[in-house]
């Protein structure tokens, strides 16, 4: 039933309308009046960035609304910024020139880079400065993006246009016969305020800081009231939510199904049919839409459906919005197919988790730094925790607020494990993720492992007003204990000392020195090998440590202390004499 949305050349639809039910007639009537082919602007496409070239950030007038100038903060005079399209395995290089009168930095969202290439606010390029970003692109093929990340300036700079696509192409995906070329279309969604047209005025009030700087009209690739002429064939759309605070519930206006084929970190392990999905700021979802059931002359609109969430209250988040109108105008074939199967994804096993961390999201009273993670606001110089390389961790996010928080980790793609204990996930949650939407009062468990680079990276809310308000922490990726960067076991990363006193009754102390931080397990066994006590089983920072063993419930005899850190095991023998 596409005719409810047969918006274009609507007179021809009169006969069809007679067959629809009364509800359809009402919605039809309003939609037919609302739109025709003379309404709207053809979807724009940012220029493609030439690898190795310059990205100049400046305050420049761009043309967004026809015939009017908008003062943006944009790369190379383009809003959105030029699209990076790069092959997996290639080395990306961009010479960044900051012509703003304030610091700026580029974060390559979802892409694994060395610490000094990640665009951390501590590495911001001062006004008038420049910096060469260069890194090998090891990520899976997929839809990534880049955006501003300077301290407390991210939201305004992104709102004013400082963001663009970073698309990784993997030729190994060619046999899947996905639509390519003119049938593979990136869509960047950003909401702006009708009252401020034609300017990107950014003036945060208290409500904006709480809910995000919400607009009431959506620009797609910088196009207001965008439409795209399409053929009666299969298309791939790479949908990026580049908005500051708005969550979209993406659907077609006639509720036609489509296939979700990719999440933040590239292709899923199966194409999954759906009629809608949520997309929060920072997230990407790739979908396949087949227009072959439409007739030339018809239209259908990509929308954000109205939604609400428990406790979220009634504010402008969740209103119905038009995103992009598809006008069916041709019958050229893309040759693409919905793959019957796609390469598998290895899902992490929660039984192999080496460390579990909790992240409690809260809102305190006041006017600044009210958004907190574990009671903390961002501090540039403070490292909030250390995570060893190659160690699977569970990061459990507990949203203790009545608001939406898209939580984003730099440096790795993670996996969502459960929402409120439920492991049967929506198709846009299942796969590789770098941003996960946490609904009000929800608990989301994620599994994450860092495998590439050591250094200081960020974990934060991607509602950019929340981020700028300090809902962000630093963590440091460190060597796994006992293993060096090339995977060799290091012989002397810890020392387990003889207990004192020895013999003992009933208590004795056991000391150990760690050269690097890491997960430590220390158990006490009796002569038969039976476990009698666990003294340490957690992440321990580098340094000297002492634990007390109390044997008051045990009988005289020899006992063994076994300490494991990394791949190294050390044992001491001690004697209990009662
Ligand atoms: Cu948030």
Q: pLDDT by residue (tens digit) across 304-335?
A: 999 987 666 556 889 999 999 999 999 999 99
Under a CB-based contact definition with an 8 Å cutoff, are residues 54 and 95 in contact? yes
What is the Å distance from ligand 1's center to 133 Cα? 28
What is the Å distance from ligand 1's center to 376 Cα? 13
What number of other Cβ atoms are within 10 A of residue 553's Cβ?
8
What is the Å distance from ligand 1's center to 459 Cα? 12
% residues pLDDT > 70 (the chain): 90
- For residue 295, is pLDDT > 70? yes
Span 503-518, pLDDT tens digits: 999 999 999 998 877 7
Degrees to nearest 5, angle at CA 347 with 343 and 348 = 150
Order of all β-strands in the sheet with 443-448: 371-373, 355-363, 393-399, 443-448, 415-419
What is the Å distance from ligand 1's center to 319 Cα? 19
What is the enclosing helix (H) or strand (E) of 24?
A: helix 22-34
Looking at residue 183, the DSSP 8-state letter turns out to be G
Q: In this predicted structure, what is the pLDDT of residue 490?
A: 56
φ and ψ at residue 266, rounded to 5 degrees: 105, -165
Q: In this predicted structure, what is the pLDDT of residue 519?
A: 77
CATH code for the part of the protein at 350-478: 2.60.40.420
> How far, in Å, CA of 132 to CA of 400, rounded?
40
Span 457-476, pLDDT tens digits: 999 999 999 999 999 999 99
- For residue 125, is pLDDT > 50? yes
> How far, in Å, CA of 433 to CA of 430, rounded?
8
Span 165-174, pLDDT tens digits: 999 999 999 9
Where in the chain are the domains?
3-39, 350-478, 494-576
What is the Å distance from ligand 1's center to 23 Cα? 38
What is the enclosing helix (H) or strand (E) of 17?
A: helix 14-17
Nearest to 461 by CA among 469, 453, 451: 469
What is the Å distance from ligand 1's center to 419 Cα? 17
What is the Å distance from ligand 1's center to 471 Cα? 7
What is the Å distance from ligand 1's center to 156 Cα? 16
Span 45-85, pLDDT tens digits: 999 999 999 999 999 999 999 999 999 999 999 999 999 99
Average pLDDT of span 167-195: 96
What is the Å distance from ligand 1's center to 247 Cα? 12
> Among 369-383, 488-502, 541-555, which stretch is predicted with the lowest mean pLDDT?
488-502
CATH topology of domain 494-576: Immunoglobulin-like (2.60.40)
Half-sphere exposure of 80 (CA within 13 A, CB side): 34
What is the Å distance from ligand 1's center to 405 Cα? 4
pLDDT band at 479; cut points 50, 70, 90: confident
Under a CB-based contact definition with an 8 Å cutoff, are residues 66 and 150 in contact? no
Q: In this predicted structure, what is the pLDDT of residue 245?
A: 96
State how far the alpha carbon of 408 is from the alpha carbons of 166, 189, 282, 283, 456, in Å: 17, 18, 8, 9, 15
What is the enclosing helix (H) or strand (E) of 373?
A: strand 371-373
Q: In this predicted structure, what is the pLDDT of residue 491?
A: 53
What is the Å distance from ligand 1's center to 532 Cα? 45
Average pLDDT of span 183-192: 98
Q: In this predicted structure, what is the pLDDT of residue 20?
A: 27
Q: In this predicted structure, what is the pLDDT of residue 1?
A: 29
What is the Å distance from ligand 1's center to 463 Cα? 5
What is the Å distance from ligand 1's center to 223 Cα? 27
What is the Å distance from ligand 1's center to 466 Cα? 5
pLDDT band at 425; cut points 50, 70, 90: very high
Beta-strand pair 518-525/531-540: antiparallel
What is the Å distance from ligand 1's center to 467 Cα? 7
Span 345-394, pLDDT tens digits: 999 999 888 888 999 999 988 888 899 999 999 999 999 998 989 989 99
Under a CB-based contact definition with an 8 Å cutoff, are residues 260 and 427 in contact? yes
- For residue 226, is pLDDT > 60? yes
In sequence order, the 6+-apart residues with CB closer than 8 A to the CB of 487 are none
What is the Å distance from ligand 1's center to 461 Cα? 5
> How far, in Å, CA of 99 to CA of 58, rounded?
5
Average pLDDT of span 26-52: 68
Matching fold, domains 350-478 and 494-576: yes
Half-sphere exposure of 552 (CA within 13 A, CB side): 3
pLDDT band at 540; cut points 50, 70, 90: confident
What number of other Cβ atoms are within 10 A of residue 256's Cβ?
17
- For residue 300, is pLDDT > 50? yes
Here the tokens at position 290 are 């087949």
> Among 185-189, 280-284, 368-372, which stretch is predicted with the lowest mean pLDDT?
368-372
Note the residue count of the chain: 578
> How far, in Å, CA of 353 to CA of 355, rounded?
6
pLDDT band at 543; cut points 50, 70, 90: confident
> How far, in Å, CA of 258 to CA of 249, rounded?
14
What is the Å distance from ligand 1's center to 211 Cα? 8
Three-state DSSP class for 558?
A: strand
Under a CB-based contact definition with an 8 Å cutoff, are residues 310 and 441 in contact? yes
What is the Å distance from ligand 1's center to 384 Cα? 18
- For residue 488, is pLDDT > 80? no
What is the Å distance from ligand 1's center to 468 Cα? 10
- For residue 18, is pLDDT > 60? no
% residues pLDDT > 90 (the chain): 78
Three-state DSSP class for 467?
A: helix
Nearest to 370 by CA among 160, 204, 121: 204
What is the Å distance from ligand 1's center to 112 Cα? 23
Mean residue pLDDT across the chain: 89
What is the Å distance from ligand 1's center to 361 Cα? 8
Q: In this predicted structure, what is the pLDDT of residue 481?
A: 62
């Amino acid at each position: 039933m596409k005719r409810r949305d047969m918006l274009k050349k609507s007179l021809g639809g009169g006969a069809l309308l007679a067959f629809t039910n009364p509800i359809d007639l009402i919605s039809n009537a309003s939609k037919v009046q609302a739109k025709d082919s003379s309404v709207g602007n053809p979807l724009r496409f940012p220029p493609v960035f030439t690898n190795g070239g310059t990205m100049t950030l400046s305050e420049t007038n761009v043309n967004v609304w026809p015939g009017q100038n908008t003062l943006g903060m944009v790369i190379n005079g383009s809003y959105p910024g030029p699209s990076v399209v790069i092959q997996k395995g290639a080395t990306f290089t961009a010479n960044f020139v900051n012509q703003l009168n304030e610091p700026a930095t580029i974060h390559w969202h979802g892409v694994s880079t060395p610490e000094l290439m990640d665009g951390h606010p501590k590495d911001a390029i001062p006004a008038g400065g420049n910096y060469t970003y260069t890194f090998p692109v090891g990520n899976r093929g997929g839809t990534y993006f880049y955006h501003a990340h300077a301290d407390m300036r991210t939201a305004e700079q992104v709102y004013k246009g400082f963001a663009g696509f970073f698309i990784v192409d993997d030729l190994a995906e060619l046999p899947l016969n996905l639509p390519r070329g003119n049938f593979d279309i990136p869509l960047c969604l950003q909401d702006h305020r009708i009252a401020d047209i034609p300017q990107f005025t950014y003036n945060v009030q208290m409500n904006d800081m709480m809910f995000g700087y919400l607009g009431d009209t959506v620009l797609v690739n910088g196009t207001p009231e965008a439409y795209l002429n399409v053929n009666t064939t299969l298309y791939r759309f790479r949908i990026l939510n580049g908005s500051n605070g708005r969550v979209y519930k993406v659907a077609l206006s006639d509720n036609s199904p489509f296939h979700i084929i990719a999440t933040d970190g590239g292709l899923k392990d199966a194409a999954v049919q759906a009629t809608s999905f949520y997309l929060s700021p920072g997230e990407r979802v790739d979908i396949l839409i087949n227009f072959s059931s439409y007739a030339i002359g018809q239209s259908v609109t990509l929308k954000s459906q109205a939604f609400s969430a428990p406790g979220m209250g009634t504010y402008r988040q969740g209103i119905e919005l038009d995103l992009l109108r598809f006008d069916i105008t041709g019958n050229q074939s893309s040759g693409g197919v919905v793959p019957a199967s796609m390469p598998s994804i290895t899902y992490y096993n929660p039984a192999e988790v080496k460390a579990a961390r909790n992240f409690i999201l809260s809102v305190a009273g006041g006017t600044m730094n009210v958004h907190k993670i574990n009671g903390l606001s961002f501090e540039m110089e403070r490292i909030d925790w250390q995570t060893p390389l190659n160690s699977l961790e569970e990061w459990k996010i507990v949203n203790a607020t009545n608001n939406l928080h898209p939580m984003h980790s730099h440096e790795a793609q993670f996996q969502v494990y459960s929402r409120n204990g439920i492991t049967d996930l929506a198709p846009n949650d299942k796969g590789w993720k770098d941003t996960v939407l946490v609904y009000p009062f929800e608990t989301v468990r994620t599994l994450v492992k860092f495998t590439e680079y050591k250094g200081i990276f960020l974990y934060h809310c991607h509602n950019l007003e929340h981020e700028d308000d300090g809902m962000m922490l630093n963590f440091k990726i460190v060597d796994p204990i006992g293993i060096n960067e090339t995977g060799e076991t290091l012989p002397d990363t810890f020392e387990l000392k003889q207990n004192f006193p020895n013999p003992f009754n009933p208590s004795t102390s056991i000391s150990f020195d760690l050269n690097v931080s890491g997960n430590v397990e220390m158990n006490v066994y009796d002569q038969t090998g039976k476990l009698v006590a666990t003294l340490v089983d957690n992440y321990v920072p580098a340094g000297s440590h002492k634990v007390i063993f109390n044997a008051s419930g045990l009988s005289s005899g020899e006992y063994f202390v076994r300490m494991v850190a990394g791949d190294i095991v050390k044992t001491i023998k001690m004697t209990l004499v009662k």
